[in-house]
Amino acid sequence: MNETTAVPTAPSGEPIIKIRDLKKIYDMGRVKVEALAGIDLDIHRNEFIAIMGPSGSGKSTLMNLLGCLDTPTEGNYTLSSHEVSALDDNELAEVRNREIGFVFQTFNLLPRATSLHNVELPLIYAGVSGRERKKRALEALDIVGLAERSDHRPNELSGGQRQRVAIARALVNKPAILLADEPTGNLDSKTSLEVMDLFIRLHDQGQTVIIVTHEPDIAEYAHRVVTFLDGRIESDVRQAAKRLDTEAVPG
């Protein structure tokens, strides 16, 4: 039995993400492709947002910009009071390291490294020393329920477990936003539920979660759905999020 929460009201206060007239234009030589045609978007702390849209709608471009993997052609993007559009590559790397936790469709774990080492990775680049690093990585693995698999390599884990390791890696630096790109795209429906349950729990604990997806049933778990079409926001809807029947999901 699934349940839903009440439709939330728009939060007030200073947003954690503030986007104004954001444009991304790809110069393909003779033609210029406008992937984002100047969008405005505010996201507040502890929102659970699904970004939807068909391929080519601009949602992947937005994901790259939100994740500080790319810089906009025009416009402003402020993330936790950093004006990201003005940063150089090294500063972007530091913002990615401290403010953003990525979760990818293909997990993107280092194949030859253990779960523990994969989760430690962001801490390595944050300059956290060895013992503290291990402690925090184990804590993150514990949150996703995989502390006892810390010495396993990705090929010794199931798909769902791999994605949970990836989520632990995303969490370990206590980022401002958790940015997930089709996180259930490579998982069967049962494991998808496990992973979504994890996102819901993290959101309940105060985490800001942004999920990019084209699957409507995944978007149903979000409190707000932003839909893109042709580089513009077509709709921005707050909704009563579907809740999982926790009985049906193993811890």
Q: Which residues bind another protein (CB under 8 A)?
A: 64, 67, 69-70, 89-91, 93-94, 96-98, 102, 104, 108-110, 112, 121-122, 124-127, 169, 173
- Rounded to the nearest whole angstrom, what is the least distance from the CB of residue 68 to another protein in the complex? 9
**How buried is residue 30: exposed, middle or buried, by Cβ count under 10 Å (0-12/13-18/19+)?**
exposed
Closest by alpha carbon to 23, among 235, 231, 172, 243?
231
CA distances in angstroms from 52 to 106, 116, 131, 198, 203, listed in the order given: 19, 32, 41, 20, 19
Question: How many CB atoms are located within 10 Å of the residue 247 CB?
Answer: 6
In which residue are the tokens 């025009």 written? 74
For 11-22, letters b (16+ CB in 10 Å) and e give eeeebbbbbeeb
Residue 46 or residue 108: which is nearer to another protein going by CB? 108
- Rounded to the nearest whole angstrom, what is the least distance from the CB of residue 96 to another protein in the complex? 5
Q: Is the dihedral of CA 162, 167, 224, 197 positive or negative?
A: positive
Residue 10 or residue 86: which is nearer to another protein going by CB? 86
- Rounded to the nearest whole angstrom, what is the least distance from the CB of residue 251 to another protein in the complex? 27
Q: In the structure encoding, which two tokens stand for residue 68, read together? A: 């500080």
Residue 127 or residue 251: which is nearer to another protein going by CB? 127
- Rounded to the nearest whole angstrom, what is the least distance from the CB of residue 220 to another protein in the complex? 27
CA distances in angstroms from 117 to 99, 126, 179, 205, 242, listed in the order given: 20, 14, 21, 25, 34
- Rounded to the nearest whole angstrom, what is the least distance from the CB of residue 121 to another protein in the complex? 5
**3-state DSSP assignment of residue 16:** coil
- Rounded to the nearest whole angstrom, what is the least distance from the CB of residue 46 to another protein in the complex? 23
Residue 44 or residue 98: which is nearer to another protein going by CB? 98
Strand partners, 180: 103, 211
Residue 82 or residue 169: which is nearer to another protein going by CB? 169
Residue 34 or residue 70: which is nearer to another protein going by CB? 70
Q: In the structure encoding, which two tokens stand for residue 235, read together? A: 């709709």
- Rounded to the nearest whole angstrom, what is the least distance from the CB of residue 67 to another protein in the complex? 7
Residue 53 or residue 154: which is nearer to another protein going by CB? 154
